[in-house]
Amino acid sequence: MATYAIGDLQGCYDTFQRLLERIAFEPDRDEIWLAGDLVNRGPGSLSVLRWVKEHDSCCRVVLGNHDVHLLARARGLEGRRRRDTLEGVLQAHDRDDLIEWLRHQPLLQRKGNRVMVHAGLLPRWTLDEAEARALRAQEVLQSDKLDRLLRRSSPDLAMDAAVADARETVAVMTRVRMLAMDGSPRFAHKGPPEGAPPGQQAWYAARHQRSKDATVLFGHWAALGFRAIDGVVPLDSGCVWGQTLTALRLDDDKVFHQPNAESKDSIDGEMD
């Protein structure tokens, strides 16, 4: 049995299938950890969702910001964005089953000393606290409070502590890259950490105090790319932007990079 951690698919189904062939993946034997953003920007979001749902027993998934955006669009809470490629999912005959399955995926996976989230963690959270927050947010995602969580503005948000707590957790775990020096999240910067605005640092640069005993696997940051960083493993190597899809075999840390194989090799626009 082998376990692989794979970066953001973002609808790059053909590349994903080539990567699975390259690593000789066997669903009855092996396990995949998927770092979120299964969908959007690439041409094969529907195929990706169907494949991962069908192989649910051997896939560990975390939700990414594009997955959350799909949930919001499916419920009519957000409109189509300029570079969305979600219409195939939203118009599919099995869309309700796919959306319901996606809604039940966690924000955080933890096994031994490894943790996976899509974007990052706050330095003030211990791993136990982060896991507990993720579970509480997952309960809200699966409840009748989902629309209040996903709606961009909710006038009664302050009256519901559970939704407010879940909204912070979802925002951090699916979108954070940078932190202010006081540890509060900043979401605007999308470039490499070397080009960050003054007074900001990468979220993982401040993680020395409370989660240092774990390795955090994450995606979301194509401009960061796959690189060696102590205590964390960034997995988003920009496949949807015409670069590569990365798999890390967790058993021996061997890395596999599969070049983009989609019919449209890249999508114009800023990496996000």
N residues, the chain: 272
pLDDT at 265: 44
Give 125-131 contacts, CB < 8 A, sequence gap 24+: 125/210, 125/211, 126/210, 126/211, 127/210, 127/211, 127/213, 127/214, 130/173, 130/211
Provide the 3-class DSSP secondary structure of residue 148: helix
Comparing CA positions, the residue from 48, 30, 2 lying closest to residue 245 is 48
pLDDT at 165: 94
Residue 158: partners with Cβ closer than 8 Å, 6 or more residues away:
164
For the chain, state the CA radius of gyration.
17
Whether 159 shows a pLDDT value over 90: the answer reads no
Question: pTM value?
Answer: 0.94
Whether 39 shows a pLDDT value over 70: the answer reads yes
Comparing CA positions, the residue from 10, 155, 168, 145 lying closest to residue 75 is 145
User: Which is more confident, 213 or 23?
Assistant: 23
pLDDT at 230: 86
The amino acid at residue 178 is M
Rounded to whole angstroms, how far apart are CA atoms 19 and 190?
26
* Element spanning 215, H or E: strand 215-218
Rounded mean pLDDT, 28-39: 98
Whether 54 shows a pLDDT value over 60: the answer reads yes
User: Which is more confident, 21 or 181?
Assistant: 21
Rounded mean pLDDT, 1-30: 97
In terms of C-beta density within 10 A (0-12 exposed, 13-18 middle, 19 or more buried), how is residue 1 classed?
Answer: exposed
Using one digit for the tens of pLDDT, what is the confidence trace for 89-114?
999 999 999 999 999 999 999 998 89
Which CATH code is given to the segment(s) 3-259?
A: 3.60.21.10
Whether 271 shows a pLDDT value over 70: the answer reads no
Q: Where residue 213 falls among pLDDT bands split at 50, 70, 90?
A: confident
Rounded mean pLDDT, 17-38: 97
Q: Where residue 266 falls among pLDDT bands split at 50, 70, 90?
A: very low
Percentage of residues of the chain with pLDDT beyond 90? 83
Q: Where residue 156 falls among pLDDT bands split at 50, 70, 90?
A: low
Whether 268 shows a pLDDT value over 50: the answer reads no
Rounded mean pLDDT, 242-264: 93
User: Which is more confident, 94 or 123?
Assistant: 94
Comparing CA positions, the residue from 25, 45, 27 lying closest to residue 37 is 45
Rounded mean pLDDT, 126-154: 91
Among 43-47, 205-209, 229-233, 238-242, whose mean pLDDT is lowest? 205-209
pLDDT at 270: 53
Residue 191: partners with Cβ closer than 8 Å, 6 or more residues away:
223, 271
